[in-house]
Amino acid sequence: MDAIAAARAVQSGEATGTPKAANGDVEAIRVLRVAYRSAVKARTQAANQLHALVVTAPLELREQLRGLALRELVERCSRLRPGDVPDSSTAITKYTLRRLARRFQQLDEEAGELKAQMRRLIQRLAPTLLAEQGVNTITASALLVAAGDNPERLRSEGSFAHLCGVAPLDASSGKQQRHRLNRGGDRQANSALHTVAIVRMSHDPTTKSYVARRISEGKTKRETIRCLKRYLIRDIYRILVPIVTPTGT
Protein backbone atom coordinates (compact mmCIF):
# COMPACT_ATOMS: atom_id res chain seq x y z
CA MET A 1 0.00 0.00 0.00
CA ASP A 2 2.87 2.39 0.80
CA ALA A 3 4.47 1.69 -2.58
CA ILE A 4 1.21 2.31 -4.44
CA ALA A 5 0.61 5.55 -2.54
CA ALA A 6 4.15 6.73 -3.29
CA ALA A 7 3.79 5.93 -7.01
CA ARG A 8 0.48 7.81 -7.22
CA ALA A 9 1.99 10.81 -5.41
CA VAL A 10 4.83 10.94 -7.94
CA GLN A 11 2.46 10.63 -10.91
CA SER A 12 0.23 13.41 -9.63
CA GLY A 13 3.14 15.72 -8.86
CA GLU A 14 2.24 15.86 -5.17
CA ALA A 15 5.48 14.21 -4.07
CA THR A 16 7.98 16.87 -3.06
CA GLY A 17 10.38 14.82 -0.97
CA THR A 18 14.01 14.21 -1.80
CA PRO A 19 14.85 10.55 -2.54
CA LYS A 20 17.36 8.70 -0.41
CA ALA A 21 20.89 8.88 -1.80
CA ALA A 22 22.95 5.71 -2.10
CA ASN A 23 26.46 6.89 -2.78
CA GLY A 24 28.31 7.03 0.54
CA ASP A 25 29.20 5.26 3.76
CA VAL A 26 25.59 4.55 4.67
CA GLU A 27 25.06 2.63 1.45
CA ALA A 28 28.19 0.63 2.28
CA ILE A 29 26.71 -0.12 5.71
CA ARG A 30 23.46 -1.24 4.07
CA VAL A 31 25.32 -3.68 1.83
CA LEU A 32 27.23 -5.07 4.81
CA ARG A 33 23.96 -5.49 6.72
CA VAL A 34 22.58 -7.68 3.94
CA ALA A 35 25.51 -10.08 4.24
CA TYR A 36 25.54 -9.88 8.06
CA ARG A 37 21.86 -10.74 8.44
CA SER A 38 22.26 -13.63 6.02
CA ALA A 39 25.24 -14.99 7.97
CA VAL A 40 23.39 -14.68 11.29
CA LYS A 41 20.32 -16.43 9.89
CA ALA A 42 22.42 -19.30 8.52
CA ARG A 43 24.32 -19.51 11.83
CA THR A 44 21.05 -19.81 13.74
CA GLN A 45 19.88 -22.52 11.36
CA ALA A 46 23.12 -24.46 11.90
CA ALA A 47 22.72 -24.15 15.69
CA ASN A 48 19.13 -25.41 15.54
CA GLN A 49 20.14 -28.37 13.40
CA LEU A 50 22.99 -29.14 15.78
CA HIS A 51 20.65 -29.24 18.77
CA ALA A 52 18.12 -31.36 16.85
CA LEU A 53 20.75 -33.95 15.91
CA VAL A 54 21.97 -34.19 19.50
CA VAL A 55 18.43 -35.10 20.59
CA THR A 56 18.28 -38.00 18.11
CA ALA A 57 21.94 -39.07 18.39
CA PRO A 58 22.89 -42.56 19.61
CA LEU A 59 22.64 -42.85 23.40
CA GLU A 60 26.37 -42.81 24.19
CA LEU A 61 26.94 -39.71 22.05
CA ARG A 62 23.79 -38.03 23.29
CA GLU A 63 24.88 -38.44 26.91
CA GLN A 64 28.18 -36.71 26.14
CA LEU A 65 26.61 -33.70 24.44
CA ARG A 66 23.25 -33.20 26.13
CA GLY A 67 22.87 -30.13 28.32
CA LEU A 68 25.89 -28.26 26.98
CA ALA A 69 25.67 -24.52 26.29
CA LEU A 70 25.72 -23.64 22.60
CA ARG A 71 29.33 -22.43 22.44
CA GLU A 72 30.59 -25.43 24.38
CA LEU A 73 28.50 -27.78 22.23
CA VAL A 74 29.92 -26.26 19.04
CA GLU A 75 33.48 -26.54 20.36
CA ARG A 76 32.98 -30.16 21.45
CA CYS A 77 31.32 -31.20 18.19
CA SER A 78 33.97 -29.51 16.06
CA ARG A 79 36.56 -31.85 17.63
CA LEU A 80 34.64 -35.11 17.13
CA ARG A 81 36.57 -37.90 15.36
CA PRO A 82 34.26 -39.92 13.08
CA GLY A 83 37.14 -41.71 11.34
CA ASP A 84 38.41 -41.43 7.79
CA VAL A 85 35.52 -43.43 6.36
CA PRO A 86 32.53 -43.27 8.73
CA ASP A 87 30.44 -46.38 8.17
CA SER A 88 28.19 -46.68 11.22
CA SER A 89 25.26 -44.70 12.55
CA THR A 90 27.34 -43.26 15.37
CA ALA A 91 30.25 -42.37 13.09
CA ILE A 92 27.97 -40.71 10.52
CA THR A 93 26.27 -38.72 13.30
CA LYS A 94 29.66 -37.57 14.58
CA TYR A 95 30.68 -36.60 11.06
CA THR A 96 27.48 -34.58 10.56
CA LEU A 97 27.74 -32.90 13.95
CA ARG A 98 31.32 -31.91 13.23
CA ARG A 99 30.37 -30.43 9.84
CA LEU A 100 27.53 -28.41 11.36
CA ALA A 101 29.73 -27.19 14.23
CA ARG A 102 32.47 -26.06 11.86
CA ARG A 103 29.88 -24.39 9.65
CA PHE A 104 28.62 -22.52 12.73
CA GLN A 105 32.18 -21.43 13.55
CA GLN A 106 32.79 -20.24 10.00
CA LEU A 107 29.53 -18.26 9.91
CA ASP A 108 30.23 -16.85 13.36
CA GLU A 109 33.62 -15.60 12.20
CA GLU A 110 32.08 -14.16 9.03
CA ALA A 111 29.37 -12.34 10.99
CA GLY A 112 32.01 -10.94 13.34
CA GLU A 113 34.11 -9.61 10.46
CA LEU A 114 31.08 -8.00 8.80
CA LYS A 115 30.04 -6.44 12.09
CA ALA A 116 33.55 -5.03 12.58
CA GLN A 117 33.43 -3.44 9.13
CA MET A 118 30.07 -1.85 9.94
CA ARG A 119 31.35 -0.52 13.25
CA ARG A 120 34.39 1.02 11.53
CA LEU A 121 32.14 2.91 9.11
CA ILE A 122 29.72 3.98 11.84
CA GLN A 123 32.54 5.32 14.01
CA ARG A 124 33.74 7.38 11.08
CA LEU A 125 30.27 8.60 10.15
CA ALA A 126 28.41 9.04 13.46
CA PRO A 127 30.56 8.18 16.51
CA THR A 128 28.17 9.97 18.88
CA LEU A 129 25.38 7.59 17.87
CA LEU A 130 27.33 4.61 19.24
CA ALA A 131 27.87 6.55 22.48
CA GLU A 132 24.11 6.64 23.12
CA GLN A 133 22.99 4.21 25.82
CA GLY A 134 21.44 1.07 24.36
CA VAL A 135 22.76 1.70 20.85
CA ASN A 136 25.14 -0.91 19.46
CA THR A 137 26.59 -1.58 16.03
CA ILE A 138 23.51 -3.38 14.71
CA THR A 139 20.91 -0.90 15.95
CA ALA A 140 23.03 2.06 14.84
CA SER A 141 23.43 0.57 11.36
CA ALA A 142 19.65 0.10 11.00
CA LEU A 143 18.97 3.72 12.00
CA LEU A 144 21.66 5.07 9.68
CA VAL A 145 20.35 3.03 6.76
CA ALA A 146 16.84 4.37 7.39
CA ALA A 147 18.16 7.95 7.33
CA GLY A 148 20.32 7.35 4.24
CA ASP A 149 23.39 9.14 2.95
CA ASN A 150 21.46 12.43 2.81
CA PRO A 151 19.66 12.64 6.20
CA GLU A 152 19.21 16.38 5.70
CA ARG A 153 16.27 15.50 3.43
CA LEU A 154 14.36 14.68 6.64
CA ARG A 155 13.01 18.14 7.42
CA SER A 156 11.92 17.40 10.98
CA GLU A 157 12.05 14.77 13.66
CA GLY A 158 8.40 14.10 12.87
CA SER A 159 9.28 13.02 9.34
CA PHE A 160 11.97 10.72 10.73
CA ALA A 161 9.42 9.32 13.21
CA HIS A 162 7.05 8.53 10.33
CA LEU A 163 9.92 6.98 8.39
CA CYS A 164 10.71 4.66 11.31
CA GLY A 165 7.06 3.86 12.01
CA VAL A 166 6.98 5.40 15.51
CA ALA A 167 4.76 8.42 14.82
CA PRO A 168 1.63 8.03 17.01
CA LEU A 169 -1.60 7.15 15.23
CA ASP A 170 -4.75 8.38 16.92
CA ALA A 171 -7.14 5.59 17.92
CA SER A 172 -9.33 7.56 20.31
CA SER A 173 -12.97 6.66 20.71
CA GLY A 174 -15.46 8.77 22.62
CA LYS A 175 -13.90 9.84 25.91
CA GLN A 176 -11.08 7.34 25.63
CA GLN A 177 -7.91 8.97 24.32
CA ARG A 178 -5.26 6.56 23.05
CA HIS A 179 -2.84 5.91 20.17
CA ARG A 180 -2.23 2.66 18.39
CA LEU A 181 0.73 0.87 16.82
CA ASN A 182 2.03 2.36 13.56
CA ARG A 183 2.64 -0.56 11.19
CA GLY A 184 4.19 1.59 8.46
CA GLY A 185 7.71 2.82 7.98
CA ASP A 186 11.06 1.04 8.05
CA ARG A 187 10.50 -2.02 10.23
CA GLN A 188 14.21 -2.70 10.76
CA ALA A 189 14.69 0.81 12.13
CA ASN A 190 11.55 0.36 14.24
CA SER A 191 12.96 -2.89 15.63
CA ALA A 192 16.25 -1.15 16.40
CA LEU A 193 14.43 1.57 18.36
CA HIS A 194 12.48 -1.08 20.24
CA THR A 195 15.74 -2.76 21.25
CA VAL A 196 17.20 0.54 22.47
CA ALA A 197 14.02 1.26 24.44
CA ILE A 198 14.07 -2.16 26.14
CA VAL A 199 17.74 -1.78 27.10
CA ARG A 200 17.13 1.66 28.60
CA MET A 201 14.09 0.43 30.50
CA SER A 202 16.35 -2.12 32.17
CA HIS A 203 19.47 -0.02 32.83
CA ASP A 204 18.73 3.71 32.64
CA PRO A 205 17.34 5.29 35.87
CA THR A 206 15.77 8.22 33.98
CA THR A 207 13.95 5.87 31.62
CA LYS A 208 12.81 3.71 34.54
CA SER A 209 11.29 6.77 36.21
CA TYR A 210 9.59 7.81 32.95
CA VAL A 211 8.08 4.33 32.48
CA ALA A 212 6.84 4.23 36.08
CA ARG A 213 5.21 7.66 35.68
CA ARG A 214 3.50 6.70 32.42
CA ILE A 215 2.15 3.47 33.86
CA SER A 216 0.86 5.33 36.94
CA GLU A 217 -1.01 7.63 34.54
CA GLY A 218 -2.87 4.64 33.13
CA LYS A 219 -0.71 3.77 30.13
CA THR A 220 -0.06 0.12 29.34
CA LYS A 221 3.50 -1.13 29.00
CA ARG A 222 3.12 -1.36 25.22
CA GLU A 223 1.83 2.20 24.99
CA THR A 224 4.68 3.38 27.20
CA ILE A 225 7.25 1.74 24.93
CA ARG A 226 5.67 3.46 21.92
CA CYS A 227 5.96 6.81 23.68
CA LEU A 228 9.55 6.05 24.60
CA LYS A 229 10.45 5.17 21.01
CA ARG A 230 9.04 8.49 19.88
CA TYR A 231 11.22 10.32 22.40
CA LEU A 232 14.25 8.34 21.28
CA ILE A 233 13.71 9.53 17.71
CA ARG A 234 14.15 13.11 18.89
CA ASP A 235 17.64 12.45 20.25
CA ILE A 236 18.71 10.26 17.34
CA TYR A 237 17.45 12.76 14.76
CA ARG A 238 19.63 15.47 16.28
CA ILE A 239 22.65 13.17 15.94
CA LEU A 240 21.99 12.01 12.38
CA VAL A 241 20.92 15.19 10.62
CA PRO A 242 24.16 17.19 11.14
CA ILE A 243 26.17 14.42 9.44
CA VAL A 244 28.21 15.69 6.54
CA THR A 245 27.98 12.95 3.97
CA PRO A 246 31.31 12.18 2.29
CA THR A 247 31.22 12.23 -1.50
CA GLY A 248 32.96 10.03 -4.00
CA THR A 249 32.90 6.94 -1.76
pLDDT tens for the 249 residues of the chain, in order: 878 887 888 788 776 667 776 778 999 999 999 999 999 999 999 999 999 999 999 999 999 999 999 999 999 999 999 888 888 889 999 999 999 999 999 999 999 999 999 999 999 999 999 999 999 999 999 999 999 888 888 888 888 998 898 887 665 565 655 555 667 788 999 999 999 999 999 999 999 999 999 999 888 898 899 889 999 999 999 998 865 444 444
- Between CA 38 and CA 40 the distance in angstroms is 6
The angle that helices 89-125 and 137-147 make with each other, rounded to 10 degrees, is: 60
**Residue burial 136-170, b: 16+ Cβ < 10 Å; e: rest:** bbbbbbbbbbbbbbbbeebeebeebbbbbbbbbee
* pLDDT, tens digit (0-9, with 9 covering 90-100), for 60-105: 999 999 999 999 999 999 999 988 888 888 999 999 999 999 999 9
- Which of 192, 59, 218, 211 has the alpha carbon at shortest distance from 134? 192
- Give the β-pairing of 169-170 and 179-180: antiparallel
Q: Report pLDDT for 145.
A: 94
